[in-house]
Amino acid sequence: MKPGAPVADPAPVAWVDRIDDALPQTQCTRCGYPDCRHYAQAIASGEADINRCPPGGQEGVARLARLTGRAPKPLDPSCGSEGPLGVAVIDEDWCIGCTLCIKACPTDAIVGANKRMHTVLEPYCTGCELCIPVCPVDCISLENVSGAATGWAAWSPKQADLARSRYQWHLQRTQRDAAEHQDRQDKKAQDKLANLEEHSKHTDPAMLDKKRAVIEAALARARAARQAKS
């Protein structure tokens, strides 16, 4: 399976949980998977190797090797290299308040509002770097907060647990926001459908029937998409 794509979870959940617990939960995607959980699933199913997590470093590879019974090996250089823990810092003089970094952060560690200066909540930042490439004015940098310590020597199980819980909340929030947004769009479409003559500049009955069919089809697609996800 191509890295980056979600994988099925054919392995027992408890086994995936144990592998997931051995990962640092930075949710950085450097392993090539959408998050730590998907990487754990890929390892459990034999679809991914154990050396694709730079934040865990060589100690992380050793932990996964002991857990899975596989031979330890050097980190895959295509995923990056082991390094110290970094925390994102936003240059207040350059921040334009675009909110792109807020949307990119997997642990909701960046707060702010549209056209307002953003701030990083340091205890919640995992150093994932996902906010850096999306910043249009290049005002975000990483500050080394662990000195010479790298990998698991720079990161604790307590921090990993916090990062996991923050990420789970982030997923719940974004799913809820998306559902609420879709509900608002559906209500607008239903109102337009019920009062099409008032909302449209067209008066030709045939054209109104055509628009009505388009709206009904769009609503049907939205309902089918929601049912497929549930």
Instruction: Please write the tens of the pLDDT for every residue from 113-172.
Output: 988 899 999 999 999 999 999 999 999 999 999 999 999 999 999 999 999 999 999 999
Residue 5 maps to a domain: no
User: Tell me, what's the pLDDT at 217?
Assistant: 72
Based on the fold, state whether residues 59 and 96 are members of the same structural domain: no
Residue 3 maps to a domain: no
Tell me which of 154, 170, 201 is where a domain ends: 154
Domain with residue 70: its CATH number is 1.10.15.40
Instruction: Please write the tens of the pLDDT for every residue from 118-129.
Output: 999 999 999 999
Contact criterion met (CB below 8 Å) for 102 and 111: yes
Based on the fold, state whether residues 113 and 139 are members of the same structural domain: yes
Based on the fold, state whether residues 53 and 22 are members of the same structural domain: yes
Q: How many domains does the chain divide into? A: 3
User: Tell me, what's the pLDDT at 46?
Assistant: 95
Residue 130 maps to a domain: yes
Range of the domain at 148: 86-154
Residue 207 maps to a domain: yes
Tell me which of 133, 154, 175 is where a domain ends: 154
In tens digits, what is the pLDDT along the chain, a chain of 230 residues? 444 444 444 578 999 999 999 999 999 999 999 999 999 999 999 999 999 999 999 999 999 999 999 999 999 999 999 999 999 999 989 999 999 999 999 999 999 998 889 999 999 999 999 999 999 999 999 999 999 999 999 999 999 999 999 999 999 998 876 666 666 776 776 766 666 666 665 666 766 666 667 766 766 776 676 666 65
Residue 37 maps to a domain: yes
Domain with residue 102: its CATH number is 3.30.70.20
User: Tell me, what's the pLDDT at 184?
Assistant: 74
Q: Which residues contact residue 196 at a Cβ distance below 8 angstroms, ignoring those fewer than 6 apart?
A: 208, 211, 212, 215
User: Tell me, what's the pLDDT at 12?
Assistant: 87
Residue 90 maps to a domain: yes
Based on the fold, state whether residues 110 and 96 are members of the same structural domain: yes
Residue 46, Cβ density class (10 Å: 0-12 exposed, 13-18 middle, ≥19 buried): exposed
User: Tell me, what's the pLDDT at 31?
Assistant: 98
Tell me which of 96, 128, 154 is where a domain ends: 154
Residue 17 maps to a domain: yes
Based on the fold, state whether residues 167 and 222 are members of the same structural domain: yes
Strands (E) across 4-116 are located at 86-90, 110-111
Contact criterion met (CB below 8 Å) for 89 and 144: no
Based on the fold, state whether residues 98 and 127 are members of the same structural domain: yes
Based on the fold, state whether residues 168 and 219 are members of the same structural domain: yes
Based on the fold, state whether residues 177 and 121 are members of the same structural domain: no
User: Tell me, what's the pLDDT at 54?
Assistant: 98
Based on the fold, state whether residues 104 and 73 are members of the same structural domain: no
Distance CA 185, CA 172 (A): 20
Based on the fold, state whether residues 66 and 123 are members of the same structural domain: no
User: Tell me, what's the pLDDT at 3?
Assistant: 46
Residue 43 maps to a domain: yes
Based on the fold, state whether residues 162 and 206 are members of the same structural domain: yes
